[in-house]
Structure 1
Amino acid sequence: MLAIRRSDERGHANHGWLDSYHSFSFADYFDEEHVHYGALRVLNDDRIAGGQGFGAHGHRDMEIVTYVLSGALAHRDSMGNGSTIRPGDVQRMSAGTGVMHSEFNASQDEEAHLLQIWLLPSARGGAPGYEEKRFDDADKRGRLRVIASPDGRDGSVTVQTDASIHAALIDGDERADYALVAGRRAYVHVARGTLDVNGRRLGAGDAAMIEAEATVTLANGDTAEVLLFDVA
């Protein structure tokens, strides 16, 4: 079974400095049919104006993954971590018992475009943590590359939850197949470009929710960048 949710069906908030689309209920946007998908709780498609960002604020009991599509994001947190992440970098922050952090566009002039992902942890009250890994385009070209997983396999960042995240770049004749284990579901988000997901055409911002199918196939891409979430 495959259900499609189009880009313009998402929640939307434009604060001037921040233009954000919400795949799931977030802040002032609430949709009882789209609160979470398995452990996937938040998937925000954010564009942050130059020199702007989120000042110091707190989180707890959440696995937060940031995936940059363009520009750069400067991160600081109460654990003493500070870095600037760019396209290809994947950042994981486990909020656990509580952490403060800030995120700002590292450029004064250029927009930063990123996906902010929150995953519900398997258990509450864990120790806060931070991790950052890089995955070049070659790692994702024509294949689904695991970038986050519970066991940190294949060099992915480690998330404390029963979910994994895979990223792919699909163009032209490239094709990627993903085997779904019985009882698992997939949430496919198209970050940019267009492609076919199990034969259905999706564009930037569109998503496919897939269950009770053995395989997810990504094909016929036109400069597509895709994230696939494997959840229970």
Structure 2
Amino acid sequence: MIIRRANNLGKAHSDTLTLRCHFAFADYQDSEYVHEGRLRAINLGSMRPNSSYRLGPEKNLDIVTWLQTGTLWTKADNFSSNHLYSGGLQLINAGTGVCDMEWHSGADGASFIQFWFMADTEGGLPEQEIRAAFPKPEDGSFRIIASGFPEDDPEELGIIEDNAPVKLSARSRLLYADIPAGEGAAYQTTPDRDLYIVVVSGEMILNGENLSCGDGVMLPQTQNVTIIANCETVILLCDVSV
């Protein structure tokens, strides 16, 4: 178990944007933390009011943006423009290449977490998916919000759901949990998988270690994980191939 404390994360920034980086990114370079399995980047972003963040060109990546607070207006190449509100999710499958991606904050600014997954196969047409905030699980369990596994896609089972996970081109998962104080959440995956957990808010215990808002923890080649919340705690969990 490798812990990345919030106050020791890397930092990349401009006049209007600050990124706290769990892995090497932009002007933050770190040979010790380049990526974890097929997980290329996790960036915690903070944008000033009425400011913008631009990326590109990128290809063969799944870029997932989860909005924590504020509002974002999104625009990328020939995709439709959309507004994201707190809890909303945007996926860009870069495929053969996306030249320009933009995020513009509203009057209250915005904070977001962005995950970059390396695609398992190269090519394919770029795609975009948008989701409003996912319903909060009543029992504090994990909910899959992005997945490259067909069995996680309700459409593959002939079911249509407004809150279905966005579809990754990588065989990876991104999961969300809002755990009540004093309760726990467990997750089990298959062998030869790496897990990475980000504490969005609150405080949790994992293997006897306390983790707080902004902290991250890598769990290489881990099949089972159980988290106990000291107070109401929101976490995001990545499940990726080694």
Length-normalised TM-score, structure 2: 0.88
Aligned residue for 1:138? 136
Match of 2:112 among 101, 114, 123: 114
Aligned residue for 1:74? 73
Aligned residue for 1:166? 175
Aligned residue for 2:194? 185
* Runs (4+) off by over 4 Å: none
CA distance in 2, matches of 1:156, 1:134: 11
Deviation larger for 199-208 or 147-156:
147-156
Aligned residue for 2:4? 5
Alignment partner of 1:104 is 2:104: yes
Cα distance, 1:56 vs structure 2? 7.0
Q: Does the CA contact (< 8 Å) of 1:188 and 1:228 recur in 2?
A: yes
What percentage of aligned pairs have identical amino acids?
28
Decide whether aligned partners of structure 1 residues 126 and 140 sit closer, same or farther in structure 2, where only a CA change above 3 A counts: farther
CA distance in 1, matches of 2:221, 2:123: 33
Cα distance, 1:96 vs structure 2? 1.2
Cα distance, 1:55 vs structure 2? 4.4
Cα distance, 1:119 vs structure 2? 0.8
- Aligned residue identity for 2:127: G
Cα distance, 1:25 vs structure 2? 0.4
Q: Does the CA contact (< 8 Å) of 1:190 and 1:206 recur in 2?
A: yes
After superposition, residues 14-25 of structure 1 pair within 5 angstroms as: 14-25=13-24
- Aligned residue identity for 2:67: V
Cα distance, 1:164 vs structure 2? 0.6
Q: Does the CA contact (< 8 Å) of 2:85 and 2:132 recur in 1?
A: no
Q: Deviations over 1:42-100 (max 9, x none)?
A: 11100000010124743222111000000011001222311011122111101111222
Decide whether aligned partners of structure 1 residues 69 and 141 sit closer, same or farther in structure 2, where only a CA change above 3 A counts: farther
Aligned residue for 1:231? 240
Structure 1 residue ranges without an equivalent (≥5): none
Cα distance, 1:174 vs structure 2? 2.5
Decide whether aligned partners of structure 1 residues 56 and 160 sit closer, same or farther in structure 2, where only a CA change above 3 A counts: closer
- Aligned residue identity for 1:116: Q
Q: Does the CA contact (< 8 Å) of 1:71 and 1:86 recur in 2?
A: yes
Aligned residue for 1:33? 32
CA distance in 1, matches of 2:42, 2:235: 13
Q: Does the CA contact (< 8 Å) of 2:145 and 2:176 recur in 1?
A: yes
Q: Deviations over 1:142-182 (max 9, x none)?
A: 11100111135251000001211101112313311001322
Cα distance, 1:212 vs structure 2? 4.6
Aligned residue for 1:127? 125
Aligned residue for 1:194? 203
Q: Does the CA contact (< 8 Å) of 2:84 and 2:132 recur in 1?
A: no
CA distance in 2, matches of 1:148, 1:104: 23
Cα distance, 1:127 vs structure 2? 1.0
After superposition, residues 51-62 of structure 1 pair within 5 angstroms as: 51-55=50-54, 57-62=56-61
Q: Does the CA contact (< 8 Å) of 1:197 and 1:219 recur in 2?
A: yes
Cα distance, 1:14 vs structure 2? 3.9
Q: Does the CA contact (< 8 Å) of 1:69 and 1:114 recur in 2?
A: yes
CA distance in 1, matches of 2:144, 2:173: 7
CA RMSD of aligned residues (A): 1.8
Q: Does the CA contact (< 8 Å) of 1:192 and 1:226 recur in 2?
A: yes
Aligned residue for 2:215? 206
| Aligned length, in residue pairs | 229
Q: Does the CA contact (< 8 Å) of 2:63 and 2:93 recur in 1?
A: yes
Cα distance, 1:140 vs structure 2? 7.2
